[in-house]
Structure 1
Amino acid sequence: MLTDRHGAFLTQLGHEREVRGFGRMAEYGYWPVTPPERVARAMLALEDQRFAYHPGIDPAAVLRAAWNNLTGAGRRSGASTIAMQVARMQDPGPRHLWAKAVEAGTAIALTLRYGREAVLAQYLRLVPYGNGSHGIGHAARYYFDKPAGDLSWAEIALLSAIPQAPALHNPRHAEGLARAVARGHRALALLAAQGAIGPEEHATAAAQLAAFVLPAQPLRPDALHLVLRLREIVDRVGIAGLDPGDARLRTTVDLGLQARVARLAEARLDALRPAGAQQVAVLVVARGTREVLASLGSAGYAATPGGAFDYSVASRSPGSTLKPFLYALALQRGVLRPDEIMADLPDRSLGIGNADGGFLGPLLPRQALANSRNIPAANLLRRIGLESAFQQLRELGLHDSEVPAAHFGLSMAVGSLPTGLDRLVRAYGALAEDGVLGELVWYHGQRVAPPRRLMPQSAARQVTLFLADPQARLPSFQRHGTTEYPFAVALKTGTSQGYRDAWIVAWSDAFLVGVWVGRADAGPMLGVTGGQAAGAIAQAILLDLHGTSADALVAGGFAAPDGTAPVALCARTGRPDDGACGPTLLEWLPAEDALGARAEFDLTPPGDVELRASPVQRLSVVSPEHNSRFWRNPEALPRLNRITLRAAVRLAVPQVVWHVDGEPFAITDPGEPVYWPMTPGIHQFQLRLPSGETASRQVRIVVE
């Protein structure tokens, strides 16, 4: 029996078996319990009054039943003892004379071998109480939501009446309840006659039984995808520490929140339907514990189209949601610095453009990621290397693909590697939890692998700060829209090609929320983006979780990496603000850098300078980026297998000279791009003035 985190009924996980004439049926319970004395006495009073004296069969009852059945002088009876019923329940079969004889022999053997107490305990574990319930432990919970030891005499009498004919005495039906109450009165009378209950107790119990109103049947909430997911995880992972005598499994889900999440998501989905959106999935996780608080698999299991699919586990194109992990890996390996300038400029060699078709020019990493620019992300993937990035994404659990990384290529940075919402939320948990990856927790006693560190704290916190800066999202994401909150929230949106999938993962200090919006047929929508569509749903959910409104203002923010200090940087150059550089962004740099340990904030890639360089670098190679990797396509036209060379020139000169591998390659205007045909191997690029007196630092790349 599954409950939510507060004990509210969620569902039952039953034992399915084939029943002749009924097909497959689910049965619940079979919880082993030590029989409470009052329950045992009531059951014995109705089913086997001489239980303590016979060896497993009751000769007197057999003779009486035979006489009654032959003469019709009394009620027909099968004379089955408790032990005989246990034998039949353990090996059900046709009811005929030979079967009865086998039951009798088995009953004697069970009693002799295990003793009466064990036989009675087994009976109270197996006996059916109707509506699929078996055993007094489960029946007490199912009908009255209490342990068997806490049942009143009236409740015991009612339950004791059911096993003789569970369908006939079904207390969920008015006629069945009336029959069960009548038989329960008989049980109370027998107990009073035996002295098990006194006159006052008997009168009280009889009055309660006569006025009995059964509590409402516990119903599964409208969360079938969640129930199926829990069953799959329980079957696959198992449960540690569950009490078999009271097998209620407490999940981490909050059913009240689950209902609110469904309402909020479906209301906003309705507004998106004219644009072709059909389905939504949401996952809400508690920070720190990684407990799943709500899981919405679709806009309704029975809803069409495609409501029966669980989109929280479906693999779809994640759009730009994998980019933060590339930035974290680059920061971790030292191939990217927070104060480095990245180029968002046209580059045909990438075969990738930005979603808006435009370019923002030089950007700090904070801006490039927060604006979700594709060109910087693809170039960053080159610098990291396809295999390294592919393996890191595998370690994060985002995929288990066996195809080579080259199959996805640089488009891995913009959504070609499919993943699921549950995988994505779990991986983002590593960013939210200072670089430590752990399993999502769905229920108490779930067996999980210990959390493990996959990235340093500094990289996880730096990326979190990138994603939590509304100012850095300009101009791609407007202020005070669906991606802004009155409290600190880090978020990343994603929109797959053709607007087929809209994503967002967002986290505050307390919660992590993932949202997907799309179609059942994976078809395109009309301009439905992660920021606009999924962002609106995530915003509504997080505001609800924090109990606030969008126009409130809550203090607080995310922690900076240890050993860093804030520095105001010029947004276009990455140098410290000198008061005259225009737009600035606050960035967290290593303390020694922030205090001026670096005399010059020269952000061009490192390399050997063959000629004299000026104190402040006046010639820079913007594209390609240092330590990038390129892959030639042997089937492509030669004009497509080329690299765009771009320069940044801070000198008033009419021309610059491009050198490749130490040899002059082209003379061009400072702002004009140059195209170099790729050849396999390691290559170096450098800019020089025609006079030869000033040169840029060298940029090294690898072409494969």
Structure 2
Amino acid sequence: MKRRTAIRTLEILAGLALLLLALDRLFPLPPAPRYSPIVLAADGTVLHAYLNPTQKWRMKTELSEITPVLRQTIIEKEDRWFRWHFGVNPLALVQAAGRNVFGRGRTTGASTITMQVARLLEPKPRTLGNKLLEMARATQLEAHYSKDELLQLYLNLVPYGGNVEGVKSAALLYFQQPPNFLSLAQTVTLAIIPNRPRGLVLGVNNEAVRRERNRWLRRFGASGLFARQDIEDALLEPLDVRRHAAPTLAPHLSRRLVRQFPHEAIIRSSLQRAKQSRAEELTGNYVRRLHELGISQASVLVVNNRTRQVEAYVGSADFRDFRGQGQNDGVVAVRSPGSTLKPFLYALALDRGLVTPKLQLPDVPTNFQGYRPENFDKHCQGEVTLERALAFSLNIPAVRVLQDYGVPAFTEKLRQAGFQSIARNRARLGLSSILGGCGASLEELTGLYAALANGGEYAALGLTPPPNPLPKREGELELSSSSTSKKLKASPPSFSGRGPGGGVDVRAQRGVPLTSPAAAFLVTDILSQLTRPDLPLGAARSTRLPKIAWKTGTSYGRRDAWSIGYNRDYTIGVWVGNFSGQGSPALTGSDVATPLLFDLFNALAYNSPNDWFVPPASLDFRLVCTETGLVPGENCPDQVIDYFLPNQSSGRRCQHQREVLVSADGGYTYCRACAPAAGFRRELYPNLLPEVAAYRVTQGLPYRRLPPHNPQCQRASGGPERAPTITSPTPNTEYVLNAREQQQLLLSCTTDGEVRQVYWYVNDQFLRAAAATERVFFRPPPGPLKISCADDHGRNTDVLVTVAEM
């Protein structure tokens, strides 16, 4: 009989369990609350908060923010038996029923914290039927969630009047502190308001709130919940609060992260709150001083070189400046980078052995297959060392080095460094890309310079801390960062790595070596020199001049001004301009971007360790000829010490002078074919590139030219490789000339140093003779033309062009 009774009992219990499971499936839990997205700084403080989709301030309170004081206060006030009941307190129900039926005492509903959570998740009119449903839902909630999770839900949903819900929202909007930083008096204040959110309104009737707060403080003191001295101190604390605006630091990054992680209530960023606030303040104040110059915007990015984390992110000078399009994000905007890519190119060329710091590069007007770059100041210097070409940001030497290195190889390196626009348009890029003829963002450029600061190793910048090693299961959203048990169902979080704004991968990335540490050091050493034209006026006399390596850039039309600098600890990128693309005569990197860069370094990294980069062991020294920067040859009396990369840098010997056979009177030269048996002498003459020699002649610079060749020589010297090079017109080019303006075509060439005269032909018809360096203009007939140039040694060069009239 007992056995049969036990079996029957088990069957009933099993049936009840199955029934409850079926009901749980038929009536699933309500969806997770829709929280206000908030973006946190690295220290956990709130940088920026947004209204939730229902236009409420409901910021998610994490378990770590629920202090023991807050927990004790809420439980003592709302539900003393919270830890013991199963969602419904039977004793409280009986007591409430007695009060309500017999009219004795205050009429109550005996709601537990869990029942209040059920009502807040699914608001319904207060009827007896709905009360029963609320009790059933409370029991279901207790089966799914721990007590701590239920308390957390309650504190996230309680009303504080208006559109403010949750203890964290109230703490930030009224006390400007998170819940775990509140005093006892402030905590009790937030505990008492949800019962009377319309009558106890902070900032409106603070005195009534203070009286109610003190009444509860005395009750807590009488029950021994808190120490007597703590209660006395809390009673004396004034209550003078008002509603403040929600935090709005880092608006551009916050919007970007919220779009990237649309299902996250709390997004942790890498930003340092103090640095972010200071960077925004400096940028806004600085741009206000530029308004009279027609400049309305600036963007700033601050990167910690050791962690590759972004610590300050300023997308514009003022997010609320609608006239200046302040809501645009200048950190990710693709613009012309000006000269900012030159250091990277030179580092790559150093690694390939094409150049060394003291190598002399031609800086003369040059036609690179139809592309004729000019220096920023429209002047050339003849020949310059690489370090001077970089320090003075000369354009022509940079284009020559890019031509030697190769555009495809250069753009491939930029693709590896995360340059998305360049990666998409590599096939269309040419030599102009080194002077800004490509697209790049401040984020990409700053990441590239951070690579130079880290020995040439590139790693994607981080906007958020690395994700947890154990990712959340798909389809579940945790109630708190420390909760691992039961969850409310929600859409899966997105950790795609790249958000819709593009650019930064939030995950930890392995470094990609772009250049060697030796090349990165040599470029850094050059960029840290102060003898350069882009040093802001008066900066050299500043006692607070930061020890940094930096490079400026100015785009065509003075639409964009850049200045990017770094030391061992930080890389800071600055862009200044107008989001409309409008240029300004004052808009140059040195004049308007570098002063802000220096201000940022002084403010954000002033106390950083005063150490500097040291030469890596892979670097070595050698003597080079001062005339060319090459390894000294036989005729190099003047030498200087230069860095070089063993087994990489070229070992080519200097030949800046060549031995020439000259007649006894010095009137003409001999070649090996016509040299007499006697009556001549050997002399050394400069062995210049033809374009450098031509530049010296046209500029009237001192230059020891070769005497003319022996007129009695019956054999042309030098061979076809020494023939004139036609620099204008460009081969295989169509020229459209305006007939009304009588436009003419320019003929110019470069020749060997011993050439005195050249002869121009058009369609094999003689045009005229001219000096070797003379610029000839003529009116060409329309149609295809063959342009020929012959020198006084009988060597000839042809080009084909087409002329059209309009």
Q: Which residue of 2 aligns with 1:385?
A: 406
SS at match of 2:138: helix
Aligned letter for 1:618?
N
Please say if 1:343 is aligned against 2:402: no
Q: Check whether the contact 2:271–2:313 (CA below 8 A) recurs between aligned residues.
A: no
CA distance in 1, matches of 2:616, 2:791: 38
Does 1:208 find its partner at 2:226?
no
Residues 112-160 of structure 1 deviation map (CA, whole Å, 9 limit, x = unaligned):
6667676556545654566877666887788585775x97764553333
* 1:76-115 equivalence runs, <5 A: 76-111=107-142
Deviations 1:582-605 (A, max 9, x none): 9998642346999xx96932479x
Tell me which structure has the larger Cα radius of gyration.
Answer: 2
**C-alpha displacement at 1:426, in angstroms?**
0.9
Cα gap change, 1:323 to 1:209, in 2 (>3 Å): same
2:734 maps to what in 1?
636
Unaligned runs of 5+ in 1: 19-23, 549-553, 605-610, 659-665, 676-686, 693-704
Could you say if the C-alpha distance between residues 492 and 124 of structure 1 is closer, same or farther in structure 2, counting changes exceeding 3 Å? closer
Q: Do structure 1's residue 314 and structure 2's residue 333 form an aligned pair?
A: yes
| Alignment check: 8 A CA contact 1:468 1:491 kept | yes
Question: Which whole-Å CA distance do the structure 1 matches of 2:98 and 2:278 have between them?
Answer: 64
Aligned to 1:272: 290
Equivalence for 2:516: 456
Distance in 2 between residues matched to 1:34 and 1:513, nearest whole Å = 34
Name the amino acid aligned to 1:394. R
**Aligned partners of 1:203 and 1:126: how far apart in 2?**
32
Aligned partner (choices 563, 587, 591) of residue 532 of structure 1 = 591
Q: 1:519 aligns with which of 557, 578, 599?
A: 578
Cα 1:210–1:319, aligned 2, differ >3 Å: closer, same or farther?
Answer: same
Q: Give the deviation of 1:408 after TM superposition.
A: 3.3
- Distance, in Å, in 1 between the alignment partners of 2:145 and 2:572 is 55
**2:653 corresponds to which residue?**
600
Equivalent residue in structure 2 for 1:290, among 290, 303, 308: 308
Give the deviation of 1:545 after TM superposition.
4.7
**Partner in structure 2 of residue 185 of structure 1:** 215
List per-residue Cα deviations over 1:504-530 (Å, max 9, x = no partner). 112234432221111131112124211
Segments of 5+ residues of structure 2 without an aligned counterpart are: 1-37, 467-505, 658-671, 674-681, 695-720, 722-726, 738-743, 761-767, 778-789, 796-806
1:232 to 235, 244, 256: 256
Question: Cα distance, 1:318 vs. partner?
Answer: 1.3
Match of 2:529 in 1: 469
Query: Is this contact kept in 1: 2:360–2:384, CA < 8 A?
Result: yes
Equivalent residue letter for 2:588: T
1:261 to partner: Cα distance: 3.9
Deviations 1:659-697 (A, max 9, x none): xxxxxxx9996656899xxxxxxxxxxx999599xxxxx
Task: Report if aligned partners of 1:31, 1:135 keep a CA contact under 8 Å in 2.
Answer: no
Q: Offset at 1:300?
A: 1.7
| 1:78 Cα offset (Å) | 3.4
Alpha-carbon distance in structure 2 between the residues aligned to 1:34 and 1:592: 59
CA 1:510–1:480: 2 relative to 1, 3 Å: farther
Mapped partners of 2:283, 2:152: distance in 1: 49
Change in CA separation of 1:547 and 1:3 when aligned onto 2, cut-off 3 Å: same
Distance in structure 1 (CA, Å) of the matches to 2:641 and 2:535: 19
1:16 alignment partner in structure 2:
52
Q: Which residue identity is paired with 1:462?
A: L
Give SS of 1:163's match: helix
Whole-angstrom distance in 1 between the partners of 2:541 and 2:625: 23
- Number of the residue aligned with 1:371: 392
C-alpha displacement at 1:179, in angstroms?
A: 3.1
From 585, 588, 604, the equivalent of 2:643 is: 588
TM-score by length of 1: 0.73
One-letter amino acid of the structure 2 residue matched with residue 182 of structure 1: E
Residues 31-46 of structure 1: pairs in structure 2 closer than 5 A: 31-32=62-63, 39-46=70-77
Closer/same/farther in 2, CA of residues 48 and 268 from structure 1, 3 Å limit = closer
Q: Aligned pair in 2 of structure 1 residues 6, 104: CA closer, same or farther (>3 Å)? A: closer
Give the counterpart of 1:163 among 188, 191, 194: 194
Contact 1:17/1:26, CA 8 A, preserved across alignment? no
Structure 1 residues 334, 151: closer, same or farther in 2, change over 3 A?
A: closer
- In 2: Cα distance, 1:498 partner to 1:582 partner: 45
Counterpart of 2:79, as a letter, is D
After the TM superposition, which residues 551-566 of structure 1 pair with which residues of structure 2 at under 5 Å, given as runs? Answer: 558-560=613-615, 562-565=617-620
1:161, distance to aligned residue in structure 2 (A)? 1.3
- Could you tell me which residue of structure 1 aligns to residue 629 of structure 2? 574
For 1:309, the aligned partner's letter is N
* C-alpha distance after superposition, 1:365-384 (max 9, x if no partner): 22222222222222322223
Aligned partners of 2:535, 2:640: CA distance in 1, in Å?
17
State percent identity of aligned pairs: 27
Number of residue equivalences: 631
d(CA) in 1 for partners of 2:417 and 2:300?
A: 20
Q: How far off its partner does 1:428 sit?
A: 1.1
Structure 1 position 48 matched with structure 2 position 79: yes
Q: CA deviation at 1:48?
A: 3.1
Q: Give the Cα–Cα distance (whole angstroms) in 2 for the partners of residues 447 and 275 of structure 1.
A: 41
Q: Pick closer, same or farther for the CA change 1:105–1:598 going to 2, 3 Å.
A: closer
| Deviation per residue, 1:60-107 (Å, 9 max, x gap) | 655665676688765453332222112223333454443322112222
- Secondary structure (helix, strand or coil) at the match of 1:506 reads strand
Contact 2:407 2:430 (C-alpha < 8 Å) held by counterparts: yes
Matches of 2:430 and 2:349, distance apart in 1: 17
**Relative to structure 2, which stretch is displaced further, 498-507 or 172-181?**
172-181
Quick one: which amino acid aligns to residue 433 of structure 1? N
The correspondence for 2:345, drawn from 326, 331, 338, is: 326
One-letter identity of the residue aligned with 2:406: G
SS of equivalent residue, structure 1 residue 282? strand
Q: Secondary structure at the match of 1:637?
A: strand
Tell me if structure 2 keeps the 8 A contact 1:42–1:157: yes
TM-score by length of 2: 0.65
Contact 1:646-1:673 within 8 A present in 2 as well: no
